[in-house]
Amino acid sequence: MENYMQTNMQNQGINKNLALVCLTVIVISAIISGTVLYMDSKAPNAPANNQPTDNQPTGPVKVSMDDDAVLGSASAPVTLIEFSDYECPFCKRHFTQVYPEIKRDYIDTGKVKLVFRDLIAVSGHNPLATSEAMAAQCAKDQGGDAAYFKYHDELFKRTTSNGNGLALSQLPVIATAVGLNTTQFNQCLNSEKYKDEVAKDQADGNKAGVTGTPSFFVGKSTADGVIDGTIIVGAQPYSAFKAAIDAALAK
């Protein structure tokens, strides 16, 4: 009987110890969970367009038009330089939602000239993105800036982005659609004539601090094509461009 009581008391002690351990674990887990939730609540929101914002320039940056295609009046007082990627979904969104308003209010009225430069920030967009960039340059080679922007517009209209939305075989089809000589276009594209040009755009964009697309620089036009540009990062609303352009026009 005594042995039974001793055993029973020992079991009760063990049960109490187990209960205490379990309670301690629960309390510690609750503290950790609360801390994580608190940290989450204090964490900054992710960038609206999933574009990198760290290490972006905060002041004016010298950026060159280089010899890239220009849309608008050569004498426009403000220059808007865009670094973009035909396979970037945010670039396509900008083209669809904001670019038409900028074109209507500022480019078509002679206030702004747009310069389009290539920058492929996501390696998964290749090889298509580089081929598309070279294709647009081949359009320019054949028909100047006007042909370039016709091809540019069709690319953005037809691609579904992210490197898999447009077959390479469609690039000559687009060339035909915008009135180019397809044989001449194919020779240009197949020779990779403008591969170095696309790479130079990329290098210049990186030098200017561009880490994501689309990225834009807005500044007063200059005789040498090098502007002190204020950067706009991501597929921002029209209001962001209006504010930057109006500020440049007022200088």
Domain for residue 53, yes or no?
no
Domain residues for 192? Answer: 61-250
Same domain, 241 and 173: yes
Instruction: Please report the DSSP string for 59-108 in residue order.
Output: S-EEEE-TT--EES-TT-SEEEEEEE-TT-HHHHHHHHHTHHHHIIIIIT
Does the pLDDT at position 46 exceed 50? no
pLDDT in tens, 163-218: 677 889 999 999 999 999 999 999 999 999 999 999 999 999 999 999 999 999 99
Residues 32 and 81 in one domain: no
Same domain, yes or no: 179 and 218: yes
Same domain, 38 and 65: no
The residues facing 231 across adjacent strands are: 217
Closest CA to 68 of 127, 103, 112, 118: 118
- pLDDT of 39 strictly over 60: no
Looking at the structure, tell me whether residues 77 and 116 fall in a common domain.
yes
Tens of pLDDT, residues 58-73:
668 999 999 999 999 9
Whether 51 is in a domain gets the answer: no
117 and 4 fall within a common domain: no
Other beta carbons less than 10 A from residue 170's beta carbon: 17
> Residue 60's pLDDT is what?
84
User: Does residue 112 belong to any structural domain of this protein?
Assistant: yes
99 in the same domain as 155: yes
**Which has more pLDDT, 102 or 11?**
102
Number of domains, the chain: 2
Same domain, 17 and 93: no
Residue 212: inside a domain, yes or no? yes
Q: CA–CA separation, 196 vs 225, rounded Å?
A: 20
Confidence (pLDDT) at 97: 97
* Long-range contact set of residues 186-190: C-beta below 8 Å, sequence gap at least 24: 188/138, 188/141, 188/142, 189/131, 189/134, 189/135, 189/138
* Residues 82, 33 share a domain: no
Closest CA to 86 of 153, 150, 144, 177: 153
The answer on 204 and 85 residing in a single domain is yes
Q: Is residue 153 part of a domain?
A: yes
CA-based nearest residue to 71, from 143, 147, 132, 149 = 149
Six-digit token string for 241: 């461009």
Is residue 132 in a domain? yes
Q: Is residue 123 part of a domain?
A: yes
Q: How far apart are CA 139 and CA 86, in angstroms?
A: 15
242 assigned to some structural domain: yes
CATH code of the domain covering residue 119: 3.40.30.10
The answer to whether residues 35 and 65 belong to one domain is: no
pTM here? 0.77
Q: Are residues 148 and 199 in the same domain?
A: yes
Q: What percent of the chain clears pLDDT 70, i.e. is strictly above it?
A: 76
Which pair of structure tokens corresponds to residue 199?
């790479």
